[in-house]
Amino acid sequence: MSTPSLAERDWSGGVVRYPDPAVEVLDDSFSKYRIGNAVVERLFTGCRWAEGPVWFGDARCLIWSDIPNNRMLRWNEESQEVSVYRNPSHHSNGNTRDRQGRLVSCEHTGRRVSRTEHDGSITVLMDSFEGKSLNSPNDVVVHSDGSVWFTDPGYGIMLNYEGKVAEAELPNRVYRLDPESGAATIVADDFLRPNGLCFSPGEDLLYIVDTGRSHDPDGPSHIRVFDVTADNLLENGRVFVDMNPGMADGIRCDVDGNLWAAAGWAGPGFDGAHCYAPDGTLIGQIHLPEICANLCFGGAEKNRLFMAGSQSLYAVYVETAGAQHP
């Protein structure tokens, strides 16, 4: 039997030579986060618009939204299998967990924020403000004091594809909800389309994405950062990073205060996950072959970055950890 030459060797089959060129260091400060022998993995494909990844370490699974398919999916860390977690999902979008570990979801249909109790029943936390329906909550984060902060940009009432077409009754805003009392306050009302949001590790800062350019060519495409006061007010808002020529969507901080942003709508070289230092410098990128809409850290060490990327779910290990509970 003859031995084929090296040139004839078929290396195809989905493997990647390390280091993965999809993990790009743009600044030396990112080098310590890149793991040389870690590869960007596609864990699943078959969604229409993947969103809202949230890690359940206790169940060793990741749950995420597939908005147009009106379902939530669950990826099992042990078996690597994907199954349906909830269908219909009320066109759920962003997800997180509260301090008791309960799933908190933004839902386009019903225009509400819901909480899934430990027994599986669903509690509507908020679907209106001063007697008017919310537009369609998009993304959500829970503060360590238990309050639920969410954005309400109205994407879910613009197309039947991702919800149900309806008239907006309220301006696009960011709200803070005390789920104990049911009291809600407006924390920001000067966004065109407020989208992803997350706190800094010390919760002294809140980052909020504006995707106003999605339906207004002159609208903003940036991430703003605010100081969070002891009274839960936002002050000193300033642009943290301009996302043009693309847009950001979901965002998360790591323990070092870097901001990881799902990025897309500008094609190869841009789409994927962007890592910004606390001063706003783009220090690294995870390149994906699809638009990334949202991301979260997971795994036992919270060192695995899960990325909801259009039709697929991706993940890569990085040498840092997610800052936020869960």
Contact residues toward Mg ion (CB under 5 A) are 138-139, 195, 249
> How far is it, in rounded angstroms, from Cα 96 to Cα 322?
13
Least spacing, CB of residue 126 vs Mg ion, in Å: 17
Annotation says 249 is catalytic: yes
- Looking at the Cβ atoms of 92 and 195, the one nearer to Mg ion is 195
Which residues is 95 bridged to in the sheet? 105
Least spacing, CB of residue 273 vs Mg ion, in Å: 14
Angle 235-199-269 (CA atoms, 0-180°, nearest 5)?
Answer: 110
- Looking at the Cβ atoms of 50 and 228, the one nearer to Mg ion is 50
- Looking at the Cβ atoms of 38 and 62, the one nearer to Mg ion is 62
- Looking at the Cβ atoms of 250 and 322, the one nearer to Mg ion is 250
Does 162 belong to an annotated binding site?
A: yes
Least spacing, CB of residue 138 vs Mg ion, in Å: 5
Does 195 belong to an annotated binding site?
A: yes
DSSP 8-state symbol, 143 = -
Angle 94-207-154 (CA atoms, 0-180°, nearest 5)?
Answer: 45
Which residues is 55 bridged to in the sheet? 62
- Kindly state the helix (H) or strand (E) to which residue 236 belongs, with its residue range: strand 234-242
Residue with token string 């993965």: 20
- Kindly state the helix (H) or strand (E) to which residue 46 belongs, with its residue range: strand 41-56
Phi-psi region of 194 (alpha: psi -120 to 50; beta: other; left: phi over 0): beta
Least spacing, CB of residue 49 vs Mg ion, in Å: 10
Catalytic residue among 249, 254, 256, 271: 249
Does 232 belong to an annotated binding site?
A: no
* Binding site residue list for substrate: 138, 162
* Binding site residue list: 51, 138, 162, 195, 249
Give the residue numbers annotated as catalytic, written as ranges. Answer: 249
